[in-house]
Structure 1
Amino acid sequence: MALTALEIKDKTFGVKFRGYDANEVEEFLDIVVRDYEDLVRLNHDQEAKIQALEERLNYFDEMKDSLSQSVLIAQDTAERVKQAANERSENIVRQAEQDAQHLVDEAKQKANEILRHATDNAKKVAVETEELKNKTRVFHQRLKSTIESQLSIIDTPEWDEILRPTAMYIQTSDEAFREIVEKALGESVHHHHAEDDNIDLTRQFSPAEIEELQKRIEAANLELGATQAFEGLNEKVQSALEEAEHARHENEEVFEVEETVQPEDDANRESVNIL
Structure 2
Amino acid sequence: MAGAHRGAEAVAVFATVLALAACGADVPEDPSLTVGPSLPTGGAESDSGESSDESDPTATPPTATPAVATPPETTETSEATETSEATENPAEPTRADAETDDLPDFAGPGEQQTQDAAGQAQLIVDDVRVGPHDGFDRTVLDLSGTGEVGWRAEYVTDPALEGSGAPVDLAGEFVLQVTVQGMAYPEAGDTAYEEGELLVDGGDLATVTEILRTVPFEGQLPVFIGTSAEAPFRVFRLSEPERLVIDVQH
Please indicate the TM-score interval, normalised by the length of the shorter structure: under 0.3
Q: Which protein has the larger Cα radius of gyration, Structure 1 or Structure 2?
A: 1
Richer in strand (by share): 2
TM-score normalised by the chain length of structure 1: 0.22
TM-score normalised by the chain length of structure 2: 0.24
Greater relative contact order: 1 or 2 (C-alpha under 8 angstroms, separation 6 or more)?
1
